[in-house]
Every structure is written in C-alpha cells, then in structure tokens.
C-alpha cells in the first residue's frame, strides 16, 4: 500500500481522537461518511457474532442528534477523555475501502482531576478515501470489558 | 532505513499484540524464528546486567510448550490483555538483524470487567527479515516494576 | 510533507521519552534548542489562554539547572516513569518549524512496584530541523488534570 494512504488513515485516527479529547464534539460526525455507521459493542458479543450493540448509528445525521443530546444533557462537562492509539494495521478491503484495526486505551479525567483507565479495546474500521480526504464508512468500537459504565456519554 | 523495512517491523509488532489480545495464543510462537529467544526480566535486573529472568525460552518449540501448559492450566480464560505500543525506534544491528525498542502498556481486563494497568515496560528486539517476512530473533520484555504478578500467565 | 521529516519528528519524540524513562535525565536538555522553551500547564489554563504554568523554562541552561536540582534533591530515585505516545500530528508552521501534537499517557512506577496512571495530556511542539537533526524550539506539555501531584519531579 502506498505511504500516502497509510498516512491518510493515521491522520484520520489522530484527528478523530483529538476532536473528542478537546471537546469539539460537533466535529465528530464529520469524520463519518453521510451513510457511515458507528457501533459500540463488547469483545464478548463481537466474537460470538452477536448483533448486540451499546450504541448503533447508521448515518452522520444520527451522530449529530447524539451530540445534540449530549450537549443538552450536559453530562459531558464534568469529564474529559484522553484517547491513546496504538499503531494501525491497514489492509485493502475487497469493497474498495481500506480496513484498519487499531488498539486504544481511553483515560477519563474527572473535573476533580481524578484520572482512571476508563476503557480499552480496538477499532475495526472501513475507511473511504476520496483524493486526500478520508472518512469512516464504518467504525466499530469493540470494548474489552463488558462492564459498561452507565456514564458512557462521550463518544469513543 | 527504507520505509518498507520500518513498516515490516511495525506490522510485526501490531500483529504480535493482536494475536495475544484476541487470545490466539497458538499463533504466538510463529512470531519467532525457530531458534528465537524470548525473555521477560525487570528493568532493575536488566540495568545491572543480571541474567535473572522471569521467563526464558530459547526456541519456538519451548514457546509452543508454554502455550500448551497455559491452555491446560486454563487460567487465561478469566482475563484478557490489551497491549498498547508506542512508536518503535528501529536501527540496523551489526548482526544483520534490525534492532527495535518499543514502549508498551498492558491493561488486564478480568472476566468481571474490572480493568487495571497491569504492566509497563519496553521491548528490546532483534528482528530477522526474510523478503517481506519479519520475525523475532530475540524479544526481551523489560518490565518497569519488580512486583511481578504471580498470575503472569499470558505472554507479554 | 516528506517522509524523512515525519520520521525525524517521530524519532525525536521516541528518544525524548526513552531518555526520561531510562533515567538519563542529563540528556534531556539536549533535546531542546539553546533558546528552547519548555512549559507544563493544564488544559483548563491553556484553553482559557491563561499564561499560568507549572513549569516554565526558556533555555537549555535552565533545563540543565532543573536536572541538577532534581539529582541533588534525590527524589527521583524512588520512582520510574513510562511514557506512551500516540501518533503525532505534524504540520508545517509559518515560522519554518514543524508543528506537532502528540497525545501521551505516563505511568509512574514506585520503588515498591506499585504502578499508577500518573498523567495524561498532549504535547504541542515546535520542532526545528537542521539537516537530519531535530530539536524542540518549544515543547508545551498540556495536562488533562488540574490535580497536580506535588511530586512532579521528573520531566514529562
């Protein structure tokens, strides 16, 4: 795979995490295609092929609604996230998209300053490239833990 | 160093971590050369040049035995690992292999969902390249902490 | 941006973290330009544009003094750090330097072996390139948490 495509994927990953960690949630839906899919599930469900999801959205518009709800609920203000991503494994998919897998850890920093390792898991992505621009045709967030925090407010 | 070699090392690192984190332990020995060496030690021992090891294997066959023992002991089922790797520092070694150093953090996720920062440290690797294929001639796992969990069951 | 420049930045980042994590603090000032700036602040202050800093140094000489003080205070011996860096976002700055943003997590490992997630945040860097050599014209460490440990002894 040419290096430009690799860099486009790494850049997409880094900008995605940065937008969330800097609380620019309104930009978050723009990392997805108009009919992009976003799903959060657990490794247990994923490995058993179960369709259960904690979050499931099938369009950019649904993601916008979600951000709006978060802002109105106003929960997110009391906390910050810090995403740390490992190296991405990138392959050509049969459908013309790039397929990427990336491990992550997310720390949650409460307003008091208390920092905890909040979530670990991996992203399974299908990435559409259009010239220099890259976006997610699909991002599946697979959480290692099945103990889901009820405060899963901010996107992962 | 040419970019293809760099990418081969990054890919080896990522696939290694992925195999362990997805519990495909039977694939783990195949990341090593037939006479590959695998060692886990502590930073304290390593810096003092002490030969003490927590785990020491000198062939792929020994690693296979280790996996078999783990599967029989059946301890591993109750937990998952998540490896997160930093950027690798890669240099040409005098012996024709590539030398790489990579920092890591490993989270352990118990069956209950409880997630803890389990281990931190760095890999010191000698990597043999044969065409496009890369494998470990040697992987030394240097743990920052000397407080070794007695449940150090799954490979790091 | 050409790949050589990217690699020079990644290498600088990795060597910087390695020097600190391996307690080679005397090498730390050499990662900065002679008139390089180093600042630690919180995300809260940074986002509000406040000039408040936890640490602020405006030359390599000041950093050397800091290391000397740390060695004399002798606090650092009881602990280790482990930096884990995410992928760097790199752009050309208007001032001829490269601008980079990199997320980090730092674990602290006490002499007893106790390991905690000590700090999370991001680096905002201006990096000067001179041929193959890269150094920090400025490194701003933005901590996610405002709860600063009074033992913030080792550089971040």
Quickly state the pLDDT bin for B3 (edges 50, 70, 90). Answer: confident
pLDDT digits (tens, 9 = 90+) for B97-119: 999 999 999 999 988 888 999 99
What is the pLDDT at residue A153?
A: 64
pLDDT digits (tens, 9 = 90+) for B117-133: 999 999 999 999 987 78
How far apart CA B71 and CA B56 sit, in angstroms, is: 19
Question: Whole-model pTM?
Answer: 0.93
- Tell me, yes or no, if B107 comes closer than 8 A to chain C by beta carbon: no
pLDDT greater than 70 at residue C155: yes
pLDDT digits (tens, 9 = 90+) for C47-92: 999 888 888 999 999 999 999 988 887 665 578 999 999 999 999 9
pLDDT greater than 80 at residue A113: yes
**Residue of A43, A88, A105 with shortest CB distance to B105:** A105
Q: Which distant-in-sequence residues (6+ apart) come within 8 Å of B117 by Cβ?
A: A117, B105, B106, B107, C107, C115, C116, C117
How far apart CA B117 and CA B144 sit, in angstroms, is: 12
Angstroms from B80 CA to nearest CA on chain C: 19
Higher pLDDT, A123 or A94: A123
pLDDT digits (tens, 9 = 90+) for C91-143: 998 888 999 999 999 999 988 888 999 999 999 999 999 877 899 999 999 99
Q: What number is the average pLDDT over the span A68-82?
A: 79
What is the pLDDT at residue A151?
A: 55
What is the pLDDT at residue C133?
A: 87
How far apart CA B104 and CA B110 sit, in angstroms, is: 19
pLDDT greater than 80 at residue B155: yes
Q: Decide if A84 and C101 are in contact by the 8 Å CB cutoff.
A: no
Residue C40 token pair: 């630690």
How far apart CA A155 and CA A123 sit, in angstroms, is: 13
Q: How many other C-beta atoms are found inside a 10 Å radius of the C-beta of residue B154? A: 20
Q: Which distant-in-sequence residues (6+ apart) come within 8 Å of C25 by Cβ?
A: C19, C67, C70, C71, C76, C154, C155
Quickly state the pLDDT bin for A155 (edges 50, 70, 90). Answer: confident
The mean predicted confidence, pLDDT, of chain A is: 90
Residue of A3, A141, A145, A152 to mutate when probing chain B, most B C-beta within 10 A: A145
What is the pLDDT at residue B53?
A: 86
Q: Lowest mean pLDDT of A19-23, A117-121, B89-93, B144-148, name the range.
A: B144-148
What is the pLDDT at residue B108?
A: 92
Nearest to A78, CA basis, from A108, A107, A111, A109? A111
What is the pLDDT at residue B67?
A: 92
Q: Which distant-in-sequence residues (6+ apart) come within 8 Å of C74 by Cβ?
A: none
**Residue of C6, C103, C147 with shortest CB distance to A82:** C103
pLDDT greater than 90 at residue A39: yes
Residue of C2, C7, C86, C143 to mutate when probing chain A, most A C-beta within 10 A: C86
- End-to-end Cα distance, chain C: 28
Between the CA of residue B81 and those of A105, A127, B111, B113, what are the distances in Å?
12, 26, 11, 12
What value of ipTM does the predicted structure carry?
0.90
């Amino acid at each position: 795979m040419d290096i430009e495509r690799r860099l486009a994927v790494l850049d997409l990953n880094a900008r995605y995490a940065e937008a969330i960690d800097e609380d620019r949630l309104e930009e978050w839906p723009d990392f997805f295609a108009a009919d992009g899919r976003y799903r959060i599930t657990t490794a247990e469900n994923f490995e058993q092929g179960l369709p259960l999801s904690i979050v499931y959205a099938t369009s950019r518009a649904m993601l916008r609604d979600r951000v709006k709800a978060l802002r109105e609920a106003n929960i997110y203000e009391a906390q910050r996230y810090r995403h740390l991503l490992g190296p991405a494994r990138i392959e050509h998919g049969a459908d013309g998209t790039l397929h990427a897998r990336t491990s992550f850890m997310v720390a949650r920093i409460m307003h008091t300053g208390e920092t905890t390792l909040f979530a670990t898991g991996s992203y399974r992505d299908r990435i559409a490239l259009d010239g220099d621009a890259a976006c997610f045709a699909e991002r599946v967030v697979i959480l290692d833990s099945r103990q889901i925090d009820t405060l899963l407010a901010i996107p992962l």
